[in-house]
Amino acid sequence: MTRFLLKRIGLALITLILLSMIVFAVSSILPGNVGRSVLGPFASQESVDQLNEQLGADRPLLSQYWDWASDAVRGDLGESLTKQVPAWDLLRPALFNSFKLALVAFLICVPLSLLGGVIAGLRYGKATDKSITTAGLSFSAMPDFVTGIVFILIFAVWLSWLPVTAQAEDGANALTQVKYLLLPAFTLTLVLFGYIARVTRAGMIEALDSDYARTAYLKGLPSSVVVRKHVLRNALVPTIAVVAVQVGYLVGGLVAVEFLFNYQGMGLLTLEAARNKDLPLLTAGVLVIGTVYLVVMLLADILYAALNPRIRFGGGE
Amino acid sequence: MDRDTARRIDEYRRHEAGQLENNLFDELVAGEMDRTEFLKRGAMFGLSVGIMGSMLAFVGEAGAAPAARTQLGRVQKGGILRAGITKPAGPVEPYLLNDGGALCFAGQAAEYLTFTNPQGKILPWLATSWKPNADATVWTFQLRKGVKFHNGKTMTSKDVVASMKQYVSAKGSNAGLTPFFDAAGVSAKGPYAVVFKLKSAIGVFPYLVSQTTYQAPVQTAEDAAKPGQWAAGGFVGTGPFKVKKYTEGRSADLVRHSAYWGGPSPLDGVKMTFFTGSAPLVLALRAGQVDLAMQLSPQEATPFKNNPKFTYYALPTSAHRQLCMRTDVGVLKDPRVRRAVALSINRPQQLAKIMLGAGQVGNDSPFWKGFASTDPSIKQRTQNIQLAKALLEAAGVKNLKFNLTTWNFLDHPDHAASIQAYAREAGIDVGLEVMDGGKYYDSEPAGADYAKTTPWLNRTCSLTEYGARGVPNVYLTRAYMSTGDWNGSHYNNPEFDSLSKTYLAAAEVSAQRKATKRMNGLLLRDTPVVTDYFISYTTAGSSKVKNYVPEGLSHMRLAKVSLG
């Protein structure tokens, strides 16, 4: 297991280094100019050039990358060119926000999806199964900003039960913060429900159809025991990988949801950095999202191994 | 008119008034300007309310004399106004101010020497009066006494001079004032007077130190000496609200500045929430989570119009779009062809369609009807497909085809598509090229010579937005004159340049109008730019917001606002 973990961590570090290089390289071909982003389209070219020189944005890309990477290995993620403050000062609250939203969404979405998938699997081919599958598919097919607007109109504008924006006041207690996050969390739940429930359902059907489940039934075990002790353990293994992948999306990919609920998370921050060609902020943002993603994948692998003896005892592979 | 008034005017004209003030009075007497324009111009030349009242009484307009203070509605004290504004795009530093969000936020804390009101009248603000020399190359501003900064310091000429010097000399400054004077051109004359020696005569200079030049607020001399440190120092200004807390990208909490020179605000404070887009702002306003939106498009604001829970605001402004057509190269080089394009557009219909009527029809010049200097007698260009076709034929152009380049912003894509449809009626085939803002305003390819390659200044035909101004000076000097660095049509007409210089130096409205009339004539003939509409500033707020008057820029003047 230790060898397995070390290997994964090593691969993760290489991935992150490559990721930072790719971001720098790709950004160089993007249109845009930092000085002009700050000063606006109508600023004189002289002012823009002066500001770019002052910010170091006019240096060769390799030199910019080298300086950024040298600082990054020492834990300094550089300074945002457009905001002119340390990148970490912008990333920290955004990351915290993203984690909060991801957690609330996760706590609602995962149990619901698992439950939906398990029920659909148990009721395979029946009306309940068809209803869950069709509803899940419909929700997933709907873009998140459409679902979000519908929720806002119903729960915030018409019923006035929940706030439109997801950002609670500073110092708000945990319950209030959750209240503010409910609408985006529900939106994300609808988006993810169909996918997670379908994978769970497929795992359930496969596990229920397996020899070990049939043997357990033939042994005379009650249905609830068969499902709890034998079927679920195996059926949920593929679901873990699927859920882990969604964490990366929830932390770094919620641009539309963050925009709609005016929530300052990692998705909007990195998008803004890309638009403004703010390379240090963009690279640091992608790196942070990448790190979160890799850590979650690692945790998923560990969980996967814990649930699946073939992996656990297979020499760490 | 009584004898006292006549004596007072006579004494004023002989002993106090300069050449410009006397010309102004002559124009009023000769009936060359109405009372509204007289008040606008009088305020610009720093004439006192009493003198203007006497002058109006002299010509039988006593009733038009300005009241000492506008009567406000019933004021209820207390409460926190929740304002939704656009997220500041960059650092909120006075010398870098550029976007609406930063301007709106900074405008609560910092103020300008003068103030251009929504009717285009220049008002005393941190300066109480101003006076030009005979040729309007030197302007002396008297500062308001007893103005306190948020840190308790009293504002003096030292602060104003240091601020102005920063704006024209800081490295990387947005340089809104640089074309008009340099660091050596601004000096103190005692503790409460500042002298500006301009690079050339400017008859409307007081407008240029109002909020319509974004990068001109007054900071403390200490902050002004360190460009880039205003935010770190706590956003210290003289404004009605001081910043208690600023959370980057999210919100700002402001509290009443009790020692505000204009009297403390009825509000306890303002909570500003920064919005990345207008859609969530509209929803938040509708759900009652914000009380007032900084600015909304007509499409977003109009639904609030007939809802008693909300107030809809629409204010005509000089903001407009410029459809620039290259006059030096390409298929639009012939002025007849450009006129044909302009004649194909049904302006009233286009305004109704694209801006839902929130604006005024344009006449292919930057001379908005609200400017005192605009001659009202110029004939409005209207759609004439037959003439457009005839012009194309006369120019020997068949199957005219070109691309219209713009960027994905506000009404631009719809506006461009509408022009495309109208042009088709005249047999002109317009292709659309809608870019991302970063590409439209960058050099092409990145790193190339900006002036020679950026799409907005070099495409055959481009559609670009221009914000509201109190006077058309910036439009003329930068977008129309051959030396202008925003001259997207590459217009080069020595006669126009010469008339522009005449206009810029003219202080009397009659001289300005004479120049703008001829300039408008040249622009209609040459049609380097189509300006088919001027845009009203639209927004909405809760009906419990009282005494709010939008300004036409992104500023939100909240000093007198209360919550009912």
In the 3-class helix/strand/coil scheme, how is A192-248 assigned residue by residue? Answer: HHHHHHHHHHHHHHHHHCCHHHHHHHHCCCCHHHHHHHHHHHHHCHHHHHHHHHHHH
The pLDDT > 90 percentage for chain B reads 68
A269–B441 CB contact, under 8 Å: no
Contact A101, A178 (CB under 8 A): no
The whole-number pLDDT of residue A4 equals: 76
Cα-flanking dihedrals φ and ψ of residue B314, to 5°?
-140, 125
Q: Which residue pairs, CB below 8 angstroms and at least 24 apart, start in A165-173?
A: A165/A261, A165/A262, A165/A263, A165/B273, A165/B280, A165/B284, A165/B289, A166/A101, A166/A258, A166/A261, A166/A262, A166/A263, A167/A97, A167/A262, A167/A263, A167/A264, A167/B250, A167/B251, A167/B273, A170/B245, A170/B247
Which residue from B347, B431, B425, B341 is spatially nearest to B391, judged by alpha carbons? B341
Q: Cα–Cα distance between B201 and A148 in angstroms, integer?
A: 56
pLDDT higher than threshold 70 for residue B31: no
The CA-to-CA distance between both ends of chain A, in Å, stands at: 9
Three-state DSSP class for residue B560: coil
The whole-number pLDDT of residue B8 equals: 65
Count Cα neighbours of A245 within 13 Å in the Cβ-side half-sphere. Answer: 8
Closest CB from A85, A164, A272 relative to B280? A164
The whole-number pLDDT of residue B63 equals: 44
DSSP states of A250-299: HHH--HHHHHHTT---HHHHHHHHHHTT-HHHHHHHHHHHHHHHHHHHHH
What residue type is B186 in one-letter code?
V
A47–B173 CB contact, under 8 Å: yes
What is the value of ipTM here, to two decimals?
0.81
Three-state DSSP class for residue B93: coil
Q: Which residue pairs, CB below 8 angstroms and at least 24 apart, start in A131-139?
A: A132/A197, A132/A201, A133/A197, A133/A198, A133/A201, A135/A194, A136/A193, A136/A194, A136/A195, A136/A197, A136/A198, A137/A194, A137/A198, A138/A194, A139/A190, A139/A191, A139/A193, A139/A194
**Contacting residues of A for B441, CB less than 8 Å apart:** 33, 36, 41
The whole-number pLDDT of residue B458 equals: 96
The whole-number pLDDT of residue B3 equals: 62
Helix H, strand E, coil C: the string for B212-248 is CCCCCCCCCHHHHCCCCCCCCCCCCCCCCEEEEEEEC
Q: Cα–Cα distance between B56 and B516 in angstroms, integer?
A: 26
Three-state DSSP class for residue B367: coil
Which residues have a Cβ under 8 Å from the Cβ of B10 and sit 6 or more positions away? none
Packing angle of the helix pair A127-141, A174-208 (nearest 10 deg)? 130
Which residues have a Cβ under 8 Å from the Cβ of B4 and sit 6 or more positions away? none
What is the tally of helices (H) and strands (E) in chain B?
Answer: 20, 20
Of all residues in chain B, the one with the smallest CA distance to A57 is B447
Contact A70, A46 (CB under 8 A): no
* B335 CB within 8 Å of a chain A CB: no
> pTM for the whole thing?
0.81
Which residues have a Cβ under 8 Å from the Cβ of B242 and sit 6 or more positions away? B109, B150, B234, B235, B236, B254, B255, B256, B257
Q: What is the mean pLDDT of residues B41-70?
A: 58
The whole-number pLDDT of residue B64 equals: 40
The whole-number pLDDT of residue B327 equals: 97
Give me the residues of A, 30-59, that contact B with CB < 8 A. 30-33, 35-48, 50-51, 54
Give me the residues of B, 20-79, that contact A with CB < 8 A. none
Element (H, E) at A34: helix A34-39
Closest CB from B172, B178, B441 relative to A51? B172
Contact B563, B291 (CB under 8 A): yes
* b/e sequence A20-34, b meaning 16+ C-beta within 10 Å: beebbeebbebbbbb
Which residues sit opposite B360 in a β-bridge? Answer: B534
A39–B286 CB contact, under 8 Å: no
Q: Cα–Cα distance between B340 and B328 in angstroms, integer?
A: 17
Which residue from B409, B83, B99 is spatially nearest to B269, judged by alpha carbons? B83
pLDDT higher than threshold 60 for residue B70: no
For B26, B34, B46, B65, B497, the CA distances from B31, given in Å and listed in that order, are 9, 7, 21, 16, 29
The whole-number pLDDT of residue B69 equals: 38
- The DSSP secondary-structure symbol of B41 reads H
Give pLDDT tens digits for B448-463. Answer: 888 899 999 999 999 9
Per-chain mean pLDDT for chain B: 89
The whole-number pLDDT of residue B72 equals: 45
* A84 CB within 8 Å of a chain B CB: yes
Other C-beta atoms closer than 10 Å to the C-beta of A105 total 24
B175–A44 CB contact, under 8 Å: yes
Of all residues in chain A, the one with the smallest CA distance to B167 is A47
**Contacting residues of B for A44, CB less than 8 Å apart:** 175, 178, 485
Q: Cα–Cα distance between A270 and A261 in angstroms, integer?
A: 17
Q: How far is B423 from chain A (nearest CA, A)?
A: 28
Which stretches of B310-397 are DSSP H helices? 335-343, 347-354, 385-394
**Contacting residues of A for B90, CB less than 8 Å apart:** 37-39, 82-83
Which residue from B163, B174, B310 is spatially nearest to B222, judged by alpha carbons? B163
Which residues have a Cβ under 8 Å from the Cβ of B283 and sit 6 or more positions away? A149, A152, A153, A156, A157, A164
- For the ranges A35-49, A287-301, B158-172, B433-447, which has the lowest average pLDDT? A35-49
Q: What is the mean pLDDT of residues B386-406?
A: 96
Residue scoring higher pLDDT (B481 or B28)? B481
pLDDT higher than threshold 50 for residue A251: yes
Give pLDDT tens digits for A1-30. Answer: 677 778 888 888 898 889 888 888 887 777
The whole-number pLDDT of residue A171 equals: 84
Which residues sit opposite B462 in a β-bridge? Answer: B324, B405
Q: How far is B116 from chain A (nearest CA, A)?
A: 21
Which residues have a Cβ under 8 Å from the Cβ of B274 and sit 6 or more positions away? B85, B86, B87, B88, B101, B249, B250, B251, B252
A262–B280 CB contact, under 8 Å: yes
Contact B77, B263 (CB under 8 A): no
Peptide bond into B494 cis (omega under 30): no
Q: Cα–Cα distance between B193 and B185 in angstroms, integer?
A: 14
Q: What is the mean pLDDT of residues A250-279?
A: 89
Q: How far is A184 from chain B (nearest CA, A)?
A: 13
Cβ contacts below 8 Å, chain A against chain B, sum to 131
B281–A84 CB contact, under 8 Å: no
Closest CB from A90, A160, A262 relative to B275? A262
Which residue from B490, B519, B524, B535 is spatially nearest to B342, judged by alpha carbons? B524
Q: How far is A305 from chain B (nearest CA, A)?
A: 42
Q: Cα–Cα distance between B222 and B345 in angstroms, integer?
A: 53
* B446 CB within 8 Å of a chain A CB: yes
Q: What is the mean pLDDT of residues B235-251?
A: 95
Per-chain mean pLDDT for chain A: 87
* B14 CB within 8 Å of a chain A CB: no
Three-state DSSP class for residue A104: helix
Other C-beta atoms closer than 10 Å to the C-beta of B386 total 9
Query: Max CA-CA distance within chain A?
Result: 84
Q: How confident is the model at residue B303 (pLDDT cuts 50, 70, 90)?
A: very high
pLDDT higher than threshold 50 for residue B231: yes
Q: Cα–Cα distance between A230 and B339 in angstroms, integer?
A: 81
- For the ranges A256-260, B147-151, B201-205, B442-446, which has the lowest average pLDDT? B442-446
Q: Cα–Cα distance between B235 and B242 in angstroms, integer?
A: 8
Contact B105, B92 (CB under 8 A): yes
Contact B207, B199 (CB under 8 A): no
Count Cα neighbours of A40 within 13 Å in the Cβ-side half-sphere. Answer: 24
pLDDT higher than threshold 70 for residue B92: yes
The whole-number pLDDT of residue B118 equals: 76
Q: What is the mean pLDDT of residues A173-185?
A: 95
Which stretches of B375-530 are DSSP H helices? 385-394, 412-425, 437-440, 450-453, 455-458, 473-474, 494-505, 509-526
Which residue from A41, A43, A23 is spatially nearest to A32, judged by alpha carbons? A41
Cα-flanking dihedrals φ and ψ of residue B326, to 5°?
-60, 125
Closest CB from B174, B289, B438 relative to A275? B438
The pLDDT > 70 percentage for chain A reads 96
Q: Cα–Cα distance between B356 and B301 in angstroms, integer?
A: 10
The whole-number pLDDT of residue A313 equals: 53
- For the ranges A250-264, B18-32, B64-78, which has the lowest average pLDDT? B64-78
The whole-number pLDDT of residue A237 equals: 82
Token code pair at residue A226: 């068969």
Which residue from B157, B137, B135 is spatially nearest to B197, judged by alpha carbons? B137
Of all residues in chain A, the one with the smallest CA distance to B478 is A42
What residue type is B324 in one-letter code?
C
Q: Cα–Cα distance between A260 and B279 in angstroms, integer?
A: 7
The whole-number pLDDT of residue B175 equals: 64
Q: How far is B91 from chain A (nearest CA, A)?
A: 5
